[in-house]
Structure 1
Amino acid sequence: MSLNKKKDHFKLSGISKNLQMKRSLRLKESKREIRVAFIAFRKIFP
């Protein structure tokens, strides 16, 4: 009983960790896209 609960908890924490990693990756990508768009904008309108 307790062993099963431990396994489930471990699985859940692993899933949440994975989601957090994906979220932070997406944040980094969006920040990079914004910077690239900003640089392109500056090149078009000096």
Structure 2
Amino acid sequence: MIINSFPKIVKDILRPLPKNDYPVLNSRLYVECWLAYALDNS
């Protein structure tokens, strides 16, 4: 049940982030990488 709702939680986190803000400060990519890192080490 938690696994099924997880993609929805991630989409809710990423939705407010801009898709093409300043390239050096790509907050969407940063959050995606941070989530991948956090989940990989858990």
* Alignment TM class, shorter chain as reference: 0.3 to 0.5
Greater share of helix: 1
Point out the structure with max Rg over C-alpha. Answer: 1
Name the structure, 1 or 2, with higher relative contact order (CA <8 Å, separation 6+).
2
